[in-house]
Structure 1
Amino acid sequence: MAPKTKAVSRTESFEGVCREIHGSWGEEERIVQLLVGLSQAECRKVREMYMEIYGDDLVQKFDPGLQFLPCLMLDPFERDAVFARDALHGNDGLNYKALVEIFTCRKSSHVLLILQAYHAKFRSQLDLDIASIEPPHPYQKMLMALSASHKAHHADVSQHIAKCDARRLFQTGEGRPGAIDEAVVLEIFSKRSIAQLKQTFFSYKHIYGHSYTSFLKNEASGEFEDAVRVVVKCICSPPRYYAEALYGCLKGTTNDKGALVRVLVSRAEVDMDEIRSDFKKKYGLELRNVICEATLEGNYRDFLVALAAKTSTC
């Protein structure tokens, strides 16, 4: 009888990855291969194990050519806190859409952890940093309303409230002449959960035969209407929104240069299957192929392609 093979525990496996990384400094391709094959939870375990073995934080050790890797090893809320800080104080100027993604596509419990992580890391309050933006901007109003929404207590989604809010939005929007009533929109956004708002916009389409965003798009809209439209798109169909964001970044039609890494890292194990499907449906192209066409061959491209190929796990 052949001798039994000893099962390798997850701890031993992570230790092995750490030792391979430690022996591969200067071999960037090997390090990328080791990490992109793991889930983000496993990458965080590797970071912990590396600290135990070598006393160094991997996040701080990567060479400049691998600075896209640390985001795989951060807790999701810590990573989003970093994304939020970069959106407010990054080299590319204010990035409101990155902040909208955080406040619309994360659970309230996750948003509260982001706020805590932001304060712990940057010694500042994210809400206050958003409120202090100068000059004031319509996105600022929407973000403050969404932030208030996450802090409020929310019951189960109510069909009755959704229908009432939908009618109220109609009566203070396309159902009357002139611009939409900002105060009404902000009040509803600040008092309803994301799930409740999604039901409201579903009810709006059911009652009036078209989406709330199509009404905003058809109007001679201003900056506030544009901001509302982006927020509603994020709430109603995150995969479609992200597919459009990725396409714009890959094709150079947007100034949001950080969207590629931000979206792929944050959605890789959440709804990447749906994003790939919506991308193909809308543009007739495979996301992987567009990434390969838009980026130079090398570690960075391998990193992006691996993320885009991830299967949703939640």
Structure 2
Amino acid sequence: MASTPLPIRHVCEEIHDTWGRLGHLVRALAKKNWAQRHQILQTYRAMYGEDLLIRLQLASQLKDSRSETFKLVFLWMLEPCDRDAFFVRDALEKGNTKALVEVYVDRKSSQLLLIKQAYLARFKRHMDHDIASEPPQPYQRILMALATSHKSHDKDVDMHIAKCDAKRVYEASEGRFGMLDESSMIEIFSKRSIPQLKRMLSCYNHIYGHDFTKSLKKKTTGEFEESLRTTIKCMYTPTKYYAKILHTCVKGCTSDRSALARVLMSRAEIDIEEIRDAFHAKYGVTLLYAIQQCTPTGEYRDFLLALATS
């Protein structure tokens, strides 16, 4: 029989009275949705005159074995746009292009605007300026094109435009000998909204019988082609994309140590169930089992498992 959730005030009392006992903190917060977490933050402040977020952040900065778990909980308790601002900053510091692609592809235009505002408020810097550089790298050209695509005034998806763009993309790739026509790709990605680009990719598949990413494999693979493939996979088949990211994490095949927690937090209240199904179908084991096998026993692993089943 499932246990009855504690009232918000009781959750706040438990957090306050058992502070430092991470097992209690994990059980109190890991399975809460954003509305509940927001209410906990407000109630905790009203009851104890203290900002729980600040307390968690300070604990995450301590030099002990518990800091990583406190950091995980701190990020989980942030507003999604604020959390994404931290993810972007971390990605820029580490040169992690995939984390940046995920934000620019998977967030709505209204969400991206809030992320940029949160980034400016947190770090006193403009996010787009930090991403851009001179001369721009291939992945940066794609990201800036996506930033422009979010400003598209065409809110409705147009099938005729999608078909025309699919043919233009074909001509810029498969219909062309040698290297991919980068300028044509950047132009299309700059002028169309993210939903319109998704429809274009769907039309491409329907017209030519395969995903556009397959044609990119046939080209001489350079940094631009690899960045474009990552972007398109995240955009067109997100559940498969995230399942693969998680698999590389649990297998230790990536230098991006934060990817496991980042993906689980980002997708926990969106499509984590579909990602779990895609993971199982592709790799033959459950995501929970894979996390258990790659992560040492403890509160950090318990939190990850809770996110994966949220």
TM-score higher than 0.5: yes
* 1:1-314 superposed matches below 5 A: 13-62=7-56, 63-64=59-60, 65=66, 66-89=70-93, 93-132=94-133, 136-310=136-310
Aligned residues: 297
Matching residue's letter, 1:21: I
Contact in 2 for aligned 1:103/1:143 (Cα 8 Å): yes
CA RMSD of aligned residues (A): 1.6
| Alpha-carbon separation, structure 2, partners of 1:245 and 1:41 | 28
Asked whether the 8 Å contact 2:178–2:219 carries over to 1, the reply is no
Displacement of 1:49 in angstroms is: 1.4
Is there any run of 5+ residues in structure 2 with no aligned partner, and where?
A: 61-65
1:300 CA drift (Å): 0.5
Q: CA deviation at 1:44?
A: 2.0
**1:151 partner SS:** coil
Could you tell me the percent identity over the aligned residues?
49
Taking structure 1 as the reference length, what is the TM-score of the superposition? 0.91
Residues of 1 paired with 2:309 and 2:187: CA distance? 40
Q: C-alpha distance in 1, partners of 2:17/2:189?
A: 52
Runs of 4+, deviation exceeding 3 Å: none
In the alignment, the residues of structure 2 paired with residue 235 and residue 68 of structure 1 have an alpha-carbon distance, to the nearest angstrom, of: 26
The AA in structure 1 aligned to 2:113 is L
1:17–1:46 CA contact under 8 A, matched in 2: yes
Q: What do residues 186-233 of structure 1 show as CA deviations (whole Å, max 9, x unaligned)?
A: 111111111111111111111111110011123221110001000000
Deviations 1:108-154 (A, max 9, x none): 1111111111111111111011113x673210000000011112212
User: Which amino acid counterpart does residue 33 of structure 1 have in structure 2?
Assistant: R
Q: Give the Cα separation in 2 of the matches to 1:302 and 1:191.
A: 44
Structure 1 counterpart of 2:217, which letter? Answer: K
Kept in 2: contact 1:44–1:72 (CA 8 A):
no
Range with bigger deviation, 77-86 or 65-74: 65-74
* Contact 2:180 2:219 (8 Å CA) reproduced: no
- What 5-or-longer segments of structure 1 have no aligned partner? 1-7
Q: 1:243 Cα deviation (Å)? A: 0.5
1:296 alignment partner, SS class? coil
Question: Could you tell me the TM-score, scaled by structure 2's length?
Answer: 0.92
Deviations 1:211-268 (A, max 9, x none): 1001112322111000100000011011111000011011111111111111000100
